[in-house]
Amino acid sequence: MPTITPLLHDDSVSLLTRGYGFGSHIWRRARRGARAVPFRLLGRDALLVRGGEGVELFYDETRVRRHGAMPAFIQQSLFGKDSVHSLDGDEHRHRKATFLDVAYDDAQVARLTPLFEEEWRGELDAWLAGGTRSAYEAAVGAFGRASMRWAGIPGTAAAQTRWATRQAQIVDGFGVPYSPEYLLTLLNRRWSDRHAERLIEAVRSGMLHPAEGTALAEWAAHRDPSGALLPPRVAAVELQNSFRPMIAVSRFVAFAAKELHDRPEWRERIAAESGQRGTLVGGELATMFAQEIRRTAPFVPVLPAWAITDVELDGERLAAGGRVVLDILGTDTDEQSWERPDEFDPERFRGVADYEALTAFVPHGGADPATGHRCPGEKLAIAGLATAIAALSDPRIGILDAGLGVNRRRMPTKPASGGRVRAAASPSGSRCPFH
């Protein structure tokens, strides 16, 4: 089988400099509607794929594997060394089963959603009292405290907020290895790993007694396929991988603030829905809005894997040993998979209960959560984001104009200000004009 015709240049630098525009740049080399296009990445032949066909190839473990494909500077800073993200096959499925028990089970979702409500009510009260946190900053604290309590992690609210802030910085800085921010990411990663490892050891020694079924209890007791306990360091990494993704949803909240600001009619509809239901959690309109945010503002633009056999898609061939790269943004906005893909329209998700059945909807990965690499915390992410959207739609607060621009070259990205939120001016206009 012939290999891809060598390109005149490597596209690695373009990925760093173009960010979320990388995929559209590469697709210009292909015919309109193509499912695959060759390029070069880190000195190797690669194939960029999109749409349902691309998702099917990317998650086919008989042809593609994920282990070792993620650049080391991302794997070790964001996910942690030896995490589930670096595994394939039976070993991956064995460890993934614990993540499914911890995060995917409906009972776990039901246990966390009241904490979302409580924390976002608190953030609303803080804004109404004159607080100046952005929507992003509020989300880091609210999601951090809620998910740590849910995970069985002890500590005061202030201590949990501080750790959540460190975790948020890890997420913020992993994609900029050329920046001093990356050095701070490594420091926060090291601190977090040590702290989480102490928690695992405290449980194993009997000093801590987290509730059964919590992430801390499950990872302290998790055994590998041979029956041995995970090394404390690896268990600590997976403990963080159980709650840090919820903190990462804060980036979606910043995008939600921007879209709600630009669509006041949706704010009014969601606010009315929350008022009628008497809760911030589980509203249909807020959930539809959350899904459209996830479709249009994915966390990363692409994901890499290795071809373990010669592969072919849409007439393009790649020899074993090359990289198969799934265009996440290009799939979520694929014109062959979505009607009016470039239009922000939450109505497209009305009545869509089984979002996992949407092959070309992969903001948290694709395929089956139990057997593939789809994030098992996706239900939690949707519930948390919808709760935040309901809170941000409250008519007693306003989202400011300034700082809502997005640098799409940076990975990961968000509106620059994080979405500034302030208490709305009183009808009498007596509120200080400088706040």
Q: What is the DSSP string of 194-237?
A: HHHHHHHHHHHHTS--PPTTSHHHHHHH-B-TTSPBPPHHHHHH
Percent with pLDDT over 70 in the chain:
94
Task: Please name every residue paired with 223 in a beta bridge, in sequence order, or none if there are none.
Answer: 229
Q: Say which residue, 83 or 152, is predicted with more confidence.
A: 152
At a CB cut-off of 8 Å and minimum separation 6, what does 63 contact? 57, 307, 308, 309, 311
Distance separating alpha carbons of residues 112 and 120, to the nearest angstrom: 13
Distance CA 324, CA 322 (A): 7
Q: Where are the alpha helices (DSSP H) in 49-134?
A: 51-58, 72-74, 89-99, 106-128
CA distance 279 to 272: 11
pLDDT for the residue numbered 431: 46
111-141: per-residue pLDDT in tens? 999 999 999 999 999 999 999 999 999 999 9
Q: Where are the domains of the chain?
A: 69-301+363-423
**pLDDT of amino acid 6:** 46
- Return the CATH number of 69-301+363-423, one of 1.10.340.30, 2.60.40.1180, 1.20.272.10, 1.10.630.10: 1.10.630.10
In angstroms, rounded to a whole number, what is the distance separating the alpha carbons of residues 353 and 86?
A: 30
pLDDT category at 161 given cuts 50, 70, 90 is: very high
d(CA 314, CA 53): 9
d(CA 324, CA 304): 6
Q: CA dist 80 to 57, 91, 233, Å?
A: 26, 17, 10
Q: Quote the pLDDT of residue 5.
A: 45
| pLDDT in the model for residue 2 | 42
Cα 423 from Cα 435, distance rounded (Å): 9
Per-residue pLDDT, averaged over 215-243, amounts to: 96
- At 415, give phi and psi (nearest 5°): -55, 140
pLDDT at residue 202 greater than cutoff 70: yes
The whole-chain average pLDDT of the chain stands at: 92
In the chain, count H helices and then E strands. Answer: 16, 9
Q: pLDDT tens across 15-28, in order?
A: 888 999 999 999 99
- Contact (CB, 8 A) for 109 and 146: no
The answer to whether 340 and 93 have CB atoms below 8 angstroms apart is no
What the block records as the tokens of 306 is 């290795």
For residue 212, what are its two tokens? 């059964």
**pTM of the complete model:** 0.93
C-beta of residue 298 within 8 angstroms of C-beta of residue 363: yes
Q: What is the DSSP letter of 229?
A: B
Does the pLDDT value for residue 75 go beyond 90? no
- Average pLDDT over every residue of 288-302: 96
d(CA 432, CA 190): 44
Which of 81-90, 288-297, 326-335 comes out lowest in average pLDDT?
81-90
